[in-house]
Amino acid sequence: MEIGSQKSKLGQDIISYLGFMVFILSICNCTTSKPFQLTDASPKYKEFQGSELDPTKKNLVAIPITNNKIYDDFILKANRAISTLEFAETVAIQADAKKTTGLAIQAEMSAASLLVEDLPPIISSLPTLQKKSLELIDSAPNDFDGPSLGKVSNELGKIDEKLATYLPKAEKINQSIKNLRADGSNYSNSKEAKDLLVENIQEPKNDPVILKPEVAELPKKETISKPIESKKNSQIKISRLPKKNKVTGSAKELFKEEIKAAEDELSEDERREKEYTEKIRAGLVEVFKWEYYKKPKNLEKILLTNPIPRVRSAAALALGRLKAGRNALHHAIDKDGYQVRPSAFKALSELGDKKSLPYFISGTKAEEIEVIAASYEGLGKTRDPAGREMIISAGLNSEYIIVVASSLRGLAYNKIPADVSLIEKFLKSSEELEIKEAAVEALSIHGSREALRVLEENVKNQPELAVKILDAIGKNNSLSATFSLIRLNESLEDEKLSTRIGEHLLRKKAFGKYAFVLVEDDFLRQEPNERSKPLSYIKAKEVGLVVGESNQEFAVRMGEDIITDRYIKLKLESTLPGSRNQFVTGWIFYPKIEIIEVKKLGESKDGKYTNLKTGKHQNIFNPENKQKSDSKTD
């Protein structure tokens, strides 16, 4: 009996132990839940939690906690996206309902200002979320069992169903929020103004009826006339032509009536779209007006207060062209949406202010390619050493052509001689035409003598860029650029390019006499004497400005001949290493050079380029006449 009781007790202990283990396993595999509110989607929505716009106010939401990071992270992310879409849909519906009754929609406008930035990334992630939900539904039986599997599968099923519901209408919700953000705040006011306008329009007045005064009939005078022989069946019939109906009312009032009749035929959506288009047109006109009158303060006000993003964007670009409004542009970047920020960054890059350096640095890490490109160019304009290092290390190595092009221009603003060779590599080795053109612009911005020489070399080496290179050299107002144009004109045989060079010389008003060096190597001397002190080494094809000539003639041995002529005083680019001055002035014997004259022809707008010694390369150029002839051929 004792042995039997011991066995019975042992069996009871085993059963109790197994039950305890089952209980522990069920606890480990069990899921818990936590409430999900609007602020869990984003803390920015705190002021709307519990309001009439809160989609979770009536339907309390609880999400399961599975203690599995993959499932928990996905469930939380998916619920945040769905809750934000539900919130946006509620805001759009409430705003439309209030507009119909003429109620104020300040709360909806405030919510739209937050949603207009949050919705685009959420909408773009919906297909990925839907795909992930299907994958987790398939894998859930392998990771859960019992009640936990039921809760997880149920939650994933709800998420998949809601994602399938919102995926086709997400863009429509986003567009409704954009429209609400753009013109919703003025809807009630515009409606009242429109009603008032209709009341003030009066019916067109009819012309006053003028009554003819009764005039007493005068006795008819007897006239003697020859009798008229009447013919049979001949009758004279006199009748008045009917007058056309008069149009009563002024033309202005008639136009108002026609406009009102046309507007009455429009639907509500068409009327809103028309009002929105009119607001955009009026806003852009304001921007162009204040830019024309150079009133940056007015443009700053438009940038910070106008309800339409497109108008604010135009105001930002106008401030950039006026190179003003730095603080307002900073505020727009901090507070405004994705449509205005690229324009504000582009405007800041036009200013190139060192105080904008933190914005340019942060802009290089932005998502929008336009913002990144403008930031690298702005970094260069600040001429900050750290910005230059960022351009060389990151900007020039970007995978985007527009970023590389902007980085090249930004690098050139530092005007460091060592950067010329780096820019030249992109000009010669790049396969993208856009990058080559940006390198040409960068060398033009750099503007040094070394940069101009690189441009000269590539006129012949890259004929597809010849015109652009000539234009880049022509934009440079330095004397070195004038020397480059004359040197190119002496070496080129293309008549079109020579005419282009002549046009740039005329625009620069580079009138005067220039010397083209013929000898292979010689020296520019301090005095008009072959034994005088040499000032600078010169070689063939160098160009200098003629500033005078000697009063006396001198006999000089040149080879086997003795030639008598004058000395010419020239201003040349210095070739002496380490020289502080870019130019040097000295004397050279006239037979060693050719003199080229660029002059304006009287009072006309024509110019003439002449080689005084040989008479070659004579051409008359006039940019205005060329433009007229081109327009006629077109």
pLDDT band at 270 (very low <50, low <70, confident <90, very high): confident
State pLDDT tens for residues 115-148: 888 888 889 889 988 888 888 888 877 787 767 7
Q: In which element (H, E) is residue 374 found? A: helix 369-382
Kind and range of the H or E run holding 596 = strand 593-600
**What is the H or E stretch that residue 34 is in?**
strand 32-36
DSSP-derived letter for residue 354 is G
Residue 107, pLDDT above cutoff 80: yes
Pairing of strands 512-517, 619-621: unpaired
Average pLDDT over every residue of 256-262: 62
The pLDDT of residue 238: 58
CB count within 10 Å of CB 262 equals 10
pLDDT of residue 247: 52
- Coil, helix or strand for 323? coil
What pLDDT was estimated at residue 576? 72
Task: Give whole-number Cα distances, 81 to 33, 63, 75, 167, in Å.
Answer: 19, 14, 10, 11
| Span 308-364, pLDDT tens digits | 999 999 999 999 999 999 999 999 999 988 889 999 999 999 999 999 999 999 999
Mean pLDDT of all residues in 397-418: 93
Q: Evaluate whether 248 touches 156 at the Cβ level (below 8 Å).
A: no
- CA-wise closest residue to 351 among 334, 336, 329, 373: 329
Terminal Cα distance for the chain, rounded: 122
Percent of the chain surpassing pLDDT 70: 77
Asked if the model's pLDDT at residue 229 lies above 60, the reply is no
Average pLDDT over the chain, rounded to whole?
A: 80
CB 563 within 8 A of CB 556: yes
Distance CA 79, CA 129 (A): 10
Torsion 13-18-22-27 (CA) sign: positive
Residue type, 494: D
Confidence band, pLDDT 50/70/90 cuts, at residue 293: very high
**pLDDT for residue 28:** 43
Residue with tokens 């996206």: 81
Asked which of 182-186, 501-505, 543-547 is least confident by mean pLDDT, the reply is 182-186
Give the whole-angstrom CA distance, residue 91 versus residue 102: 16
**Per-residue pLDDT tens for 479-502?**
999 999 999 988 888 888 988 998
Q: Which residue, 194, 350, 361, 216, is CA-closest to 275?
A: 194
Residue 284 has pLDDT above 90, yes or no: yes
Q: What is the pTM of this model?
A: 0.55
Locate tokens 């006026």: which residue?
322
Dist. CA 470–CA 474, nearest whole Å: 6
What confidence category does residue 424 fall into, taking pLDDT thresholds of 50, 70 and 90?
Answer: very high
pLDDT tens-digit series, residues 23-43: 444 444 456 778 888 888 888
d(Cα 573, Cα 524) in Å, to the nearest integer?
11
pLDDT per residue as tens digits for the range 565-591? 999 999 998 877 666 788 999 999 999
The predicted model gives 297-308 an average pLDDT of 93
- Counted residue by residue, the chain has a size of 634
Q: Which two tokens stand for residue 313?
A: 């964007």
| Cβ atoms < 10 Å from Cβ of 131 | 10
Count of Cβ atoms closer than 10 Å to residue 159 Cβ: 24
Residue 426 has pLDDT above 80, yes or no: yes
In the predicted structure, residue 307 carries a pLDDT above the cut 70: yes
Identify which has the larger pLDDT, 438 or 22. 438
- Dihedral (C-alpha) 3, 8, 10, 14: value to the nearest 10 degrees? 160
